[in-house]
Structure 1
Amino acid sequence: MSEIISISNGSLTASIDTMGAQLMSLRKGESEYLWQGDSNWWPRRAPVLFPIVGVLKDSKAESAEGTISLARHGLARLNQFEVVEQSPSSVTLQLKSTEETRKSYPYDFELKLIFSVAGDTLTQTYEVTNPANVVLPFTLGAHPAFNIPIPGVEAASLDQYHLLFTRSWTSFGPSITDEGLCDYTTPQRLIVNSDTLPLSWELIDREKTITLEDVPDRRITLATSTETHSEAHGIQMDFEGFDYLGIWSAAPGCPFVALEPWCGIADTVDCDGIFEHKPGIMCLEPEQSITKTLSVKVF
């Protein structure tokens, strides 16, 4: 049965659902930063993406161990995790492969999600272990959605917000088709020698999902463009080891924006259907583990 686990340091409180290891709440004091879900827009809040990000072309792919058949964003978000370690300010949840998961993803795996709070920062660590004697191919990602307006900010429209980067750069990434596939024949080039990406409903509606590759220093800050620096409230996200960043919202006027660090992306329109050939795929050797960590600081 699903259970909500809360961790806190007295200032910052995070709540996590054992179903899917989904972050359900991120509060500083009484201020809620995380989107709280609404079926009129999007019922989820921050699903864990594993062992795929986005979609497979025709919902399937071939791999060394057989056919993989997975819906968008994979199976982790649909399965019950076990709490294996807990303290007042941290919790570790684990999902292991089962006979049922092997029907759609024919691999053994162990996936841990470690959540911890310190100061004004939530840290979320993914740990993937390969317990088998064959190579484990996978991608993973995060999908947290944040309330618009940000707590403490009067700006109520996405058009009044922007993403700040650590330095000026020129971005690159695939466009996204109506089917959710990545298309590099018509790449997105939304940032040209700038450290800022102004957000807007028109931009989100046109691009569907904004996909950025190799974000400088793997750090972004979501803030309003209507406040001075001394007045600013926002969200800083660090995601070292994640080579892609997705930016998404459900529809124009929707009161949230999702900021999604990814290791890997959806299939490309011209992919060959081989799972191990996916962009960003990680291939973990037997009895090895890998960790990826992201953090969210609220201010």
Structure 2
Amino acid sequence: MPSSVRIGNQDLTVDVSSLGAEMQALDTSDGGSWLWTGDATFWTGRSPILFPIVGKAPDDKIAIDGAVFPMAQHGFARRSEFTLTASTATMCRYELTASEATRAVYPFDFLLAVEHAVEGRALTVSAEVTNRDQKTMPFGLGFHSAFAWPLPGADGRAHTITLDNQGEPELVRLAGGLINPTPLPSPFHAGRLVLDHAMFEQDAMIFPKGAGEGLHYGAEGGPNLRFRFENLPNLALWTKPGAPFLCVEPWHGTAAQAGASSELSERPSTTLLPPGAVARFAFTVEIGQ
């Protein structure tokens, strides 16, 4: 059975499960709950880690140097039991290493370390991938955290996403779970997007480039969350229409393109990690006062 760890300080409390190294709760000392609860009515996820792919593969299969392997949407890390390797009052580190089960679908020797750390009213979630193999290792890595919509104390208020770079990144949509590469007009105007559940009737909104390294998600005149991204060039926003959450998903890698190769190394934004190398990805979310 999965276990869990609670970390925190005078401002924040964070619960993290050993299953998927997935955050289960993000609460403030004033009683606010900022993370989705995982209600099965809509979606049981809360904050899964996506590895070694982000999104779907054609027919749920990937190819590695021509050899074909089964691979479920978003990879296997989110359904894997991690080992707690370090824990303090304000930090925990979980690790997943290659096993007979992972090699059957992903033939590489790897270490995936996921760390949650709190400082003040900010939480940083980082993932480090180490290639312990003798060959270059392709993979995608993404975060899929679901936050309350509406935010605590903001019922009835308009909620917005505001990009730090004031950009208007091109939008792409999914077709059968795969990327339709035809770009669509940006829903952002001078970096600002007023959220509406109707935007998600066609599934996620995906911005392959141009969303920048930070954004605000907040209610007009009310609570807000500030995000900063490290080595995460792709962004998706997702919910199920009518569900009380919004996923803010920074990625390095996306679903495969419709009609394109099933080779993992050829997927958009795939990392090709040399033997012995380490790649780090992280986001920080700070809860506004």
Amino acid at match of 1:8: G
Residue among 156, 163, 166 paired with 1:165: 163
- 1:198 maps to 194
Q: In structure 2, what is the equivalent of residue 297 of structure 1?
A: 286
Partner of residue 179, structure 2: 182
Structure 1 SS opposite 2:54 = coil
The one-letter amino acid of 1:166's match is D
Distance 1:293 1:7 in 2: 18
Paired residues, number = 287
| Paired position in structure 2 for 1:209 | 204
2:57 matches 1:59: no
* Match of residue 2 from structure 1: 2
- The 3 A distance-change label for structure 1 pair 193 and 153 is closer
CA drift at 1:258: 0.6
After the TM superposition, which of the residue ranges 209-218 and 137-146 deviates more from structure 2?
A: 209-218
Mapped to 1, the partners of 2:37 and 2:90 lie a distance apart of 21
TM-fit CA distance, 1:216 = 4.5
Alignment match, 2:269: 280
Sort the Cα spacing of 1:287 and 1:65 in 2 relative to 1 into closer, same or farther, 3 A: farther
Q: Deviations along 1:124-181, whole A, 9 cap, x unmatched?
A: 111000111111110010000011221122336xxx211011243221132211x211
Greater helix content? 1
Relative to the length of structure 1, the TM-score reads: 0.92
CA displacement at 1:288 relative to structure 2: 1.2
Contact 1:57 1:267 in 2 (8 A): yes
- Mapping 1:243-262, distance limit 5 Å: 243-250=233-240, 252-262=241-251
8 Å CA contact retained: 1:136, 1:284? yes
- The one-letter amino acid of 2:215's match is I
Equivalent residue number for residue 18 of structure 1 = 18
SS at match of 1:38: coil
Give the distance between the partners of 1:171 and 1:65, measured in 2 at CA.
34
Contact 1:147 1:257 in 2 (8 A): yes
Root mean square deviation, CA, Å = 1.4
Report the TM-score when normalising by structure 2. Answer: 0.95
Contact 2:211 2:233 in 1 (8 A): no
Give yes or no for contact 2:55–2:73 (8 Å, CA) kept in 1.
yes
Structure 2 residues not aligned, in runs of 5+ = none
Alignment partners' CA distance in 2, 1:201 and 1:51: 30
- Greater shift, 273-282 or 216-225, is seen at 216-225
Name the CA distance, whole Å, in 2 between partners of 1:210 and 1:221: 17
Cα deviation, residue 236, structure 1: 1.1
- Secondary structure of 1:58's counterpart equals helix
Structure 1: gaps of 5 or more residues: none
For the 8 Å contact 2:57–2:71, the answer to whether it is kept is yes
Q: Alpha-carbon deviations, 1:49-75, whole Å to 9, x = none? A: 000000001111211383232111000
Cα contact 2:171–2:187 (8 A) shared by 1: no
> Quick one: distance in 1 between partners of 2:211 and 2:150?
26
